[in-house]
Structure 1
């Protein structure tokens, strides 16, 4: 342990400390040296050991990654978990039926026995991390190709994982940072018995829908609640009625004090992906080629889905999560296009790269860095059109189960048919599970229309080198795939779950040779996975040059970023409650919070996005807010901070200087959509659910005070 601590201290001392206090997604192991003093000046009252400790309980023990894509926090000594409604959306939809529609009506377990277990849901606790940069980079040389480099690194990663997983007790992940110039390992423990405790109805949890998504002012109760269960000894276990609520090492106390402008705010979570080292050429490619195709492909799929979702509650339930995910990124990518264009982010990067190029071509730097910018620009110029094509193609695969499913199932069943009985017995459960996965919630009329619409769009707009199978069909059918898709569905063994299961029972690989859905799916996947030799060579040179660009920018100090890009590892960001300029759409006195009265003003009866439950309106009319009202009398709903977050931070706890929970992060403002590439301290805002609104909904609206009673509340 002493060796580990000494290595950490050495690494910390080597890193400069100058940085804007509200910018950065920081490793917890570095906060003592890099951030603690700044945080104290802003209002932090905790020691760094109280935030991150390897040997003692600390705040990090209450932060979990939720189902691989969001963040959540433990808020009671009985394993109660709080996250966003949109993070729990898939699980809530899974356990809902048209009769018991928990998405529409909400759900509150009256006791622990009534809590519901979704099929696949887990939380991941962070145990510890360490720097293994020297160890891994000692295995590579400058003469290696990127493929050789990757192989050597992966071999060492496998050793590190085995050394630290304690025989499978832990999950160990070794991740690259600063474009492969540093490496750290992370140790996690996963709990798979996670049950639904409570959720408000969509009219609260998703109030504002797609219209308000990424917008401020916001009035959304975006939260849901779950519970982690363990065996009697507190260890992870598969679902069992014998399991008991987890007794966590730490749970977050909750503050009812509320927030004011300039209050300290700290967020811990698992931000998914930022690209703040992205070259100018990459930004230009996204803005002009990749993202427009992504936006158009997403909207095409959404429109086709919505026609059928509006006609059937069951179809809407089955596709609710998929539609919400597509819609979220559709608006996000359009916001990225607008923000990156408006603020000329590529121009800013080009200026930085021009300065770097001058430095790189000095005599002492030229051999290593001289060709870096030229190589990077050459790559983007050669792949711009391909990036547009690929995003149209990905839209087919992302939005249509009939695009990728038939090939993966067909190949699996064909391999199964050739095996002996013993091997078949081993393979059969996996294939059955794969069929379940492809056809879960599957509605053929919707899938048909999505596939037709996406193929029509791809053939008309993708350009570059179209998938050869699709290109041939487009010429035959004048870019209208309706006839082909209808014929393919009528004949294919993959048109429905029942047909796929029948094919598995009596597999005939020769039948795949004439199965049009299988042939289409196979060709699309082959095109998606293909990498022409000239592109592979360009990519190899680009990867090396990008790594050198980041190394050189740090060495030359031309880029001041001292924290690594987000990559779904636990980070801390700190800032303050901070308003935006006054907005007449917000009834709040200061434009850093919203109220329940403002929510009511948006109310539109029977509207899919802006309807509200009658009881909520009545509670507002009576001012029946209980202990959760602000001291000025209003019921708070959402508030703003200037924390540096991104996707994956959804559900992250917002903490005050004492480490008490004051809110739950759930969104960002669309004006700052360039934030994943370049941080703007004037525009960047995090939108949070006020914890008082969360408790008000649980207690006064849902009448679930027994859930409140297990929390630790600081008044």
Structure 2
């Protein structure tokens, strides 16, 4: 009965919430029967949004490559996502001779579509709540290991019960810091092919300068196609595969929008920490993120030095550089936004209200000291968290460490085989070496290793850091790497052809990599009890926070599961340091193509437009894609609640028709992962009409448009 009461309270509180805040599980919309959303402009029923037995909106939305979102736009498996989501795959398919990043690419027939190696898309089949099933077996008196073992066993059982002997991938996840549990059934398609992409000059227009800023003029999209076997089932790439037939493909609206129009976004947001304590936010912006910013900037500088010298290196490291640069600016922007917006002070007010409730006689035993415990946890793990940030950037960017560890382990196993075993294993070993060294710049990696280890030594507290890294001579590590078995593809292949187990064990880079990994494990063991206590305290705090505010809707933090967020077309207050290219404040909800041309700068890597694009704009041949007000739209603003992982998500109108593709947030609200700012937090999207115009007019790929359903 108590659970039913809490559910009703949750439902009623949701009805009072503004439509623009929250990333909601689709079953929550069904639970509410769409009552509140219909008031704001939603025309679809709950069943049309999420259905297990019938085609619904969810069937057109896919997780793209594990870190982005995409949407099906034709019954022939065609999908849209962001250019920056497809960036790594486009780069992998590029060479100096066929530079699809720089020049763009358009397949004029299906036989020209390029298989994207390693890329997959994930469709959600269904989901369900298993909170009661799991929580009935748990209690707060259990040790962390006892709790983990029970949860792991239940997760495994649920996966077995729903996978249909491997047909589906089943993922069980915790919500609300471990207070609730849901499972998700997915179907993964692994034959995905590049169909079209604009050149970098359009897809990344504005570069790092405009990243996270408004106004934007970025044509941030790419086009892929999903293939299946002859029976429509997922299959590895094969020339005989056929375009898969999605249960639902989004119709595309050419009607445009105006301020106040209803919008919704469905996608796979990655991670938010909206329930983070003031202590956690303070740790983040004063210690953790500054470490991330410094380390990522150093990695960017090393990459840029070599990318500017060589076109092949520029292509090969383009995706890594773009990813690091994106998070570098995001983390610094988060620090600035938290400080400017008074986020920590706001959290402290909320925590004081909670503490007043927690100290009531009926609550004190369970909740009275939990905030103080969390504060104590942070003081204990503060230096360790800083180490993790420097270490994560080192491991991500100094590839020689991961190469020595992973390839070294493989070569060690290979060397231990008898002759027959070596012969059987050799193709796998060669394939791994080809993959690892295919686009490696040896000099870049040597300097990266020196620089990142040197920074680690300078910034990390020795009491929590890797003793292996502290013992290394950072100035000469590149020499160690260059003399290693793992220096180059040639040296690794030389070992394959002349295997000697003793040489692996004696290799200085291999020994260093293994010792570093062992240091990381020991560090984890050292803080295991503190981490266990922190997890428990965080779970109890959120449980109490929800109970202390029965009239507040607590949507779950993002965790890469499908969510729906609703909002409307809106404006953003102007800033004196931004170029609005003549846009008046009342129209500051969109940008148009002439503003894009106004930013054009010859010779500027971020703002130089292709001559073909300039010629097309001059002709003003915008056809059916021009807005009824007379402008050719590029980007637009809404107040939907999104985060990383939502990139590529469809922005939909109330009838489920595609208006555009979400690709960014705004710098004024980069604290959005920890607090939603109702006044400042916006979503920046590329207008689908600009996408279609680019495909048809710039790419001469109008045959793709004929696959889609356009609503005029």
Question: Residues 12 and 33 of structure 1 are in contact (CA less than 8 Å); yes or no, is this contact kept in structure 2?
Answer: no
Q: 5 Å matches for 1:668-683?
A: 668-683=665-680
Deviation at 1:210, TM superposition (A): 0.9
1:180-205: CA deviation from partner (whole Å, max 9, x where unpaired): 10000000001111111000000000
Deviation at 1:408, TM superposition (A): 2.5
Deviation at 1:233, TM superposition (A): 1.5
1:611 aligns with 2:608: yes
Question: Residues 401 and 438 of structure 1 are in contact (CA less than 8 Å); yes or no, is this contact kept in structure 2?
Answer: no
Match of 1:418 in 2: 416
Deviation at 1:390, TM superposition (A): 2.0
Deviation at 1:571, TM superposition (A): 0.4
Residue among 625, 640, 656 paired with 1:643: 640
Residue among 692, 699, 702 paired with 1:702: 699
1:570-614: CA deviation from partner (whole Å, max 9, x where unpaired): 000000000012457223341110011111111111221111111
Deviation at 1:422, TM superposition (A): 6.4
Match of 1:537 in 2: 529
1:484-528: CA deviation from partner (whole Å, max 9, x where unpaired): 223202321011122223323433333244422223322332233
Deviation at 1:696, TM superposition (A): 0.7
Question: Residues 390 and 528 of structure 1 are in contact (CA less than 8 Å); yes or no, is this contact kept in structure 2?
Answer: no
1:286 aligns with 2:284: yes
Match of 1:390 in 2: 388
Deviation at 1:414, TM superposition (A): 2.3
CA distance in 2 between partners of 1:625 and 1:331 (Å): 34
Match of 2:543 in 1: 551
Deviation at 1:116, TM superposition (A): 0.6
CA distance in 2 between partners of 1:603 and 1:35 (Å): 48
Match of 1:687 in 2: 684
CA distance in 1 between partners of 2:677 and 2:68 (Å): 24
Question: Residues 446 and 482 of structure 2 are in contact (CA less than 8 Å); yes or no, is this contact kept in structure 1?
Answer: no
Moved more, 136-145 or 80-89: 136-145
Residue among 594, 597, 609 paired with 2:591: 594
1:345 aligns with 2:339: no
Distance 1:425 1:210, change over 3 A: same
SS of 1:530's partner is helix
CA distance in 2 between partners of 1:286 and 1:434 (Å): 37
Question: Residues 352 and 558 of structure 1 are in contact (CA less than 8 Å); yes or no, is this contact kept in structure 2?
Answer: no
Q: 5 Å matches for 1:23-42?
A: 23-34=21-32, 36-42=34-40
1:17 aligns with 2:12: yes
Give the RMSD, CA atoms, in angstroms. Answer: 1.9
Question: Residues 93 and 321 of structure 1 are in contact (CA less than 8 Å); yes or no, is this contact kept in structure 2?
Answer: yes
Q: Which runs of 5+ in 2 are unaligned?
A: none
CA distance in 1 between partners of 2:179 and 2:373 (Å): 19
Q: Output the TM-score relative to the length of structure 2.
A: 0.95
SS of 2:670's partner is helix
Deviation at 1:419, TM superposition (A): 4.3
Question: Residues 60 and 249 of structure 2 are in contact (CA less than 8 Å); yes or no, is this contact kept in structure 1?
Answer: yes
SS of 1:633's partner is coil
Distance 1:488 1:559, change over 3 A: farther
Q: 5 Å matches for 1:170-319?
A: 170-319=168-317
CA distance in 2 between partners of 1:38 and 1:346 (Å): 31
Moved more, 504-513 or 405-414: 504-513
Match of 1:441 in 2: 439
Residue among 123, 137, 144 paired with 1:139: 137
Moved more, 570-579 or 584-593: 584-593
Deviation at 1:154, TM superposition (A): 0.5
CA distance in 2 between partners of 1:485 and 1:541 (Å): 38
Distance 1:224 1:533, change over 3 A: closer
Moved more, 550-559 or 146-155: 550-559
Question: Residues 567 and 638 of structure 2 are in contact (CA less than 8 Å); yes or no, is this contact kept in structure 1?
Answer: yes
Moved more, 215-224 or 349-358: 349-358
1:632-685: CA deviation from partner (whole Å, max 9, x where unpaired): 221110000000000000000000111110100000001111110000110010
CA distance in 2 between partners of 1:393 and 1:617 (Å): 45
Match of 1:628 in 2: 625
1:112-157: CA deviation from partner (whole Å, max 9, x where unpaired): 1111102111111010000001111222232211122111101111
Deviation at 1:431, TM superposition (A): 4.0
Match of 2:660 in 1: 663
Moved more, 182-191 or 339-348: 339-348
Question: Residues 394 and 528 of structure 1 are in contact (CA less than 8 Å); yes or no, is this contact kept in structure 2?
Answer: no
CA distance in 2 between partners of 1:509 and 1:612 (Å): 55
CA distance in 2 between partners of 1:57 and 1:604 (Å): 47
Moved more, 689-698 or 430-439: 430-439
Match of 1:4 in 2: none
Deviation at 1:35, TM superposition (A): 7.1
Distance 1:311 1:235, change over 3 A: same
CA distance in 1 between partners of 2:7 and 2:424 (Å): 50
Question: Residues 269 and 645 of structure 2 are in contact (CA less than 8 Å); yes or no, is this contact kept in structure 1?
Answer: yes
SS of 1:676's partner is coil
Q: Which runs of 5+ in 1 are unaligned?
A: 1-7, 475-480
SS of 1:68's partner is coil
Distance 1:401 1:532, change over 3 A: closer
- Post-superposition, which runs of at least 4 consecutive aligned residues in structure 1 deviate over 6 A? 8-11
Distance 1:429 1:148, change over 3 A: farther
SS of 1:110's partner is coil
Moved more, 46-55 or 299-308: 46-55
Match of 2:362 in 1: 364
Question: Residues 63 and 268 of structure 2 are in contact (CA less than 8 Å); yes or no, is this contact kept in structure 1?
Answer: yes
SS of 1:17's partner is helix
Q: 5 Å matches for 1:34-53?
A: 34=32, 36-53=34-51
SS of 1:674's partner is coil
Match of 2:467 in 1: 468
Distance 1:606 1:553, change over 3 A: same
1:346-405: CA deviation from partner (whole Å, max 9, x where unpaired): 222222223322322332222222231121111101111221122112211111111222
Deviation at 1:456, TM superposition (A): 1.7
Match of 1:500 in 2: 492
